[in-house]
Amino acid sequence: MRQFIDRVRAQLPELFLLENEPMSRHTTFGIGGPADWFASPRRDELAPLFALAKAAAVSVTVLGNGSNVLVGDGGIRGLVVEIGGRMNAVRTEGNCVVAEAGALLASAAAAAAHVGLGGMEFAAGIPGSVGGAAVMNAGAYGGEIKDILRSALVLGPDGEQKELSVCELELGYRRSCIPQMGYTVLSAVFALTPDSEEQIRLRMSELNRRRSEKQPLEYPSAGSAFKRPEGYFAGKLIMDAGLSGYRVGGAQVSEKHCGFVINRGGATAADVRQLLEDVRKRVRDMFQVELEPEVKMLGSF
């Protein structure tokens, strides 16, 4: 590993690189042990960094805004590559917003509103990055990324860039073909609709009001803990199972919205994982419904 790092520093001298970086600093849960090495590259540094890691057989974990992940207390071995603040440019072109993968959805939605482009209001309060949203086909309040995404520029495992249409990305409920194909999102193009900036901002304000009233935004979390089972709502099942406020250590089922698991303070990844398993078992036993975690688990538990 040290030889690999020496090569990285020699070939990419301006790369932002940290050793033993706590992942609790890079997840919205505020939980996670250290990454052996943590890099936040510029766009031009990404392909050579991946090539160096591949040549040295170093494991690479790609991270966005950390808003939909739980990192184990043992941290992550190898190299964590954050697609974030050094890849976050946003611009508008006609009726489109073009955003780099590290840009926050809120920033892309704000840019759209500023020039009177509607359709992205639902995404303004989602705390994820553009790249992560494409990977997961993020959605809220009846809208999904696939509704507004025209295409995404990705970096393939062979180091080649390719533009993929929304159809080629195979977007479904909280899924895409991106992980299976080994792609890394570089940027995305959103096709929007001209509208009044005032009306767009009113809709954004209303959605943000509803979000703050119904979701436990005052606590660290990873958003919805479980995917929506067909024919049901995960939060309603959890509430009906009597698990509102259920705690394991510092982790708790939110009393405000039972679909959220929150960090009440000092929660460990082990606490959260145990709580998720307890919830799944109770719901399965009571209602014969299998809840599937929406939160992605990374690293060593």
- Show which residues are catalytic: 174, 224, 294
The residue type found at 151 is S
Q: What's the rounded Cα separation, in Å, for the pair 146 and 169?
A: 9
Q: What's the rounded Cα separation, in Å, for the pair 69 and 72?
A: 10
Query: Helix 43-55 crosses helix 2-11 at what angle (to 10 degrees)?
Result: 150
List the one residue out of 29, 230, 28 whose CA is nearest residue 127: 28
The residue type found at 239 is M
> Which residues are within 8 A (CB) of 215 and not within 5 positions of it... i.e. 6 or more apart?
256, 257, 260
Residue 220 DSSP one-character state = -
Q: What's the rounded Cα separation, in Å, for the pair 41 and 43?
A: 6
Burial of 247 by CB count in 10 Å (0-12 exposed, 13-18 middle, 19+ buried)?
A: middle
Q: Count other Cβ atoms within 10 Å, centred on residue 114.
A: 12
Q: What's the rounded Cα separation, in Å, for the pair 175 and 277?
A: 22
List the one residue out of 222, 232, 211 whose CA is nearest residue 289: 232
Q: Which two tokens stand for residue 217?
A: 């935004």
Total length of the chain = 301
Between the alpha carbon of residue 19 and those of residues 11, 76, 80, 109, 154, the distances in Å are 18, 12, 10, 34, 27
